[in-house]
Structure 1
Amino acid sequence: MIVEQVQCDTSPWVVARHLRHEPWLVFLESTLPDPLLGQYTFLAVRPLLRLRAWGASCEVIEAGRRRWLYGNPWMLLERLYARYELGTTAEAPWPLGGFFGYWGYDLKHFLEPRLPRRAAADLGLPDLDVGLYDNLLVWDNQTGYCWLVATGLQPDGTRNAHRARVQADRWLERIEAAVAWEGTEADRPLETPGRLPEPGSSLQRDGFLRAVERTLEYIAAGDIYQVNLSQ
């Protein structure tokens, strides 16, 4: 495993934007200047494996191969994670990688199967889409230092020192390229997404007001204390 403090003469945002075309980029930016709640920013690309789930249909992408499994996504995620040991080191109080991505609300049915199923799957998005990232850049927002983490993990869960060195050198190359890129391409405006659809609502004003009144009744009765109600 390699954990090195490296020189990065630009911001995490510039590096992330420079790498925006890398596969499955994740950028976890902490903008709150708080030593406990917003100390670190993480940047990672090209996960060791990726797991996506649509209900109980799970897709695992690993070493360039895809395979489909059927079952509880939570249990599958636990089995996959058990194969790897990212480890810890005194040099790094932050995570040395892990599963980054998103967990959708509909995964609740695997934890509480008695809950009613009312949401329509009209977006085609997976309920779970995460990648296992075993090498990354970490910025300490309190000190301004940048750290490189390269675990050298392999698909079978073993570690390889040469693989870790290759990962580390690749990050050094990415940082150098991002610094050179800043001030040229970085100053160009972001690409526009083209024509956006007109906003719409599935709830009219009267229905929304009735929902607000019902929410207030639930709060007054002590059944709930908060609702994320939007139109």
Structure 2
Amino acid sequence: MPTCTVHPLPYQADPADYFARVRQAPGAILLDSARPNASRGRYDLLSAWPVEQLSPHDGETGIDYLQRLRDSLKRLGTANLPDDLQLPFAGGLIGYLSYDFGRRLETLPALAVDDLGLPDAGLGLYAWALISDHQRGTTQLVFHPSLAPDEAQRLLRLFLAPAVTDDKADFTLKAPMRGDLSPEQYRQAFERVQHYIHAGDCYQINLTQRFRAPCQGDPWHAYRALRSACPTPFSGFQVLADGSALLSFSPERFIQVHAGQVETRPIKGTRPRSQDTVEDAENAAQLLASSKDRAENLMIVDLLRNDLGRSCEIGTVKVPELFSLESYPNVHHMVSVVTGQLAADKDALDLIAGSFPGGSITGAPKIRAMQIIDELEPSRRALYCGSLIYIDVRGEMDSSIAIRSLLIKDGQACCWGGGAVVADSDWQAEYQESITKVKVLLDTLGQL
């Protein structure tokens, strides 16, 4: 099997310097751990100039699109890394799946308005990547064997040249970020969810509201400010062909595949952080002791066990962690871990087909929850609750749940916040939680 060529570069803990050299190139994308030395923040990965761009065709099913992705990986060709290297990517697909890609996998109503026009998916096929390993303190250029030698030399010159001075173009909001739903409108939607729960239609619904404002300036400037304020292990920045930008600061892994081992880490259960250390510790303790939050989390763990079971060997799906605590600058989260062994006749794209979108941001049962979401949320979610993802030619994959995420498009900045509604939820608490989760983003943007 062909082997990738790997060239070491000076290590950079922050990918901004290297990404500045390509961020205005076609297909520029950064998957950013933003959390050096953390167990789920080991690698940064960036690339640009894809071999091809792949978005769904009109009327194309999700299964057919995923098969096109599979075919594109085959065309690029399988390759290994040198034996002494542990890197997550040897060439392959990088990009996003929007929440609404789920409409191509399941039959859903079309009630929510598509007023943003984001394509349901956008992945590029990349023959090279720059990868920083924060555990080992290395930065390396990885060239797939199919990359033309002159292109490899061009990229080496680009990244070995003295650091460029990235333009410091500003980013500003022209007005404060406002929610699309008033408290009263949210309450009405909440009560409708309660009606469905008590009627036995569902057990849990993730109810979301959108915040937005007119904006101007450079989205990369916004990304760097938000990254500093809210470092998370699944951050990312992607530039689309029309100039739109996807900015994500997600703490949540969707699905990882490594050497055939599958892992998902659903988040369900949230409390705000406090600058008072005693109050902060109390908030964390209350979260871990909350029977309501544990019940919500367990519902999603059961859902994901079922989803992963469609593509994993029978008997291998396990729950090695249940109700763990993860803390971020703005919130404490309750997190569980579900693992499995990928079946011999399945691949990472089969996992996506059987599991997308993630159950932690829909509810249970999933399909009915998605139908109710479409009825009660006035606009489509776009990137929010979709995924930033890579799938390499060896079958390795990692992906996020794109929460704490923004779409900057057509002079407008949008972000979303939400939470799980169950039978004993309080509407005011849930409404406040939807704001708490994105407050650090709204406040930071407002100060630029």
Shared fold (TM-score greater than 0.5)? yes
Write out per-residue CA displacement over residues 57-114 of structure 1, whole angstroms, 9 at most, x where no aligned residue.
69xxxxxxxxxxxx942232233333232322324332212211111222223321x3
Instruction: Name the residue aligned to 1:210.
Output: 188
The 3 A distance-change label for structure 1 pair 88 and 118 is: farther
Tell me which of 79, 90, 94 is aligned to 1:87: 79
Once the two structures are TM-superposed, the CA of residue 124 in structure 1 deviates from its matched residue by 2.4
Indicate the residue corresponding to 2:55 in structure 1: 52
Equivalent pair of 2:181/2:209 in contact (CA under 8 Å): no
Counterparts of 1:99 and 1:31, CA distance in 2: 21
Give matches, 1:56-75, under 5 Å. 56=59, 72-75=64-67
User: How is 1:130-141 mapped onto 2 (pairs within 5 angstroms)?
Assistant: 130-141=123-134
The alignment-based identity, stated in percent, is 25
Local SS of the residue matching 2:56: strand
In the superposition, relative to structure 1, how do residues 149 and 76 fare at CA in structure 2: closer, same or farther (>3 Å)?
A: same
Relative to structure 1, the CA distance from residue 209 to residue 82 in structure 2 (aligned partners, 3 Å threshold; closer, same or farther) is: same
Question: What secondary structure sits across from 1:100 in the alignment?
Answer: strand
Where in structure 2 are there 5+ consecutive unaligned residues? 211-448
1:180 offset after TM fit, Å?
A: 3.4
In the alignment, residue 59 of structure 2 is paired with which amino acid?
A
User: What is aligned with 2:102?
Assistant: 108
Task: Report what 2:272 is aligned to.
Answer: none
In structure 1, how many angstroms separate the alpha carbons of the residues matched to 2:184 and 2:22? 47
Say whether the 8 Å CA contact 1:101–1:131 is kept in structure 2: yes
Check conservation: 2:92, 2:127, Cα contact below 8 A: yes
Shift of 1:223: 3.0
Q: Deviations over 1:31-71 (max 9, x none)?
A: 2345641211111110011112254369xxxxxxxxxxxx9
**Alignment-mate amino acid for residue 208 of structure 1:** Y
TM-score relative to the length of structure 1: 0.72
Cα distance change on mapping 1:37 and 1:201 into 2, 3 Å:
closer
C-alpha contact 1:2 1:168 (8 A) present in aligned 2: no
* Stretch of structure 1 that moved more, 114-123 or 129-138: 114-123
Asked if 1:17 corresponds to 2:25, the answer is no
Which whole-Å deviations, capped at 9, do the CAs of 1:193-217 have from their partners, x for residues lacking one?
5664664544222111233345567
**Equivalent position of 2:163 in the other structure:** 180
Aligned residues: 203
Q: 2:78 corresponds to which letter in structure 1? A: L
The equivalences for 1:191-230 within 5 A come to: 191-193=169-171, 196=174, 199-215=177-193, 223-225=202-204, 227-230=206-209
SS of aligned partner of 2:66: helix
Q: Which has the higher strand share?
A: 2
Question: Which amino acid is 1:7 matched to?
Answer: L
Partner of 1:64: none
Q: Which residue of 2 aligns with 1:4?
A: 6
Rounded Cα–Cα distance in structure 2 between residues aligned with 1:57 and 1:203: 33
- Asked if the contact 1:72/1:110 (under 8 Å) is kept, the reply is no
* In 2, Cα distance between equivalents of 1:214 and 1:139: 47
Q: 1:134: Cα distance to partner?
A: 1.2
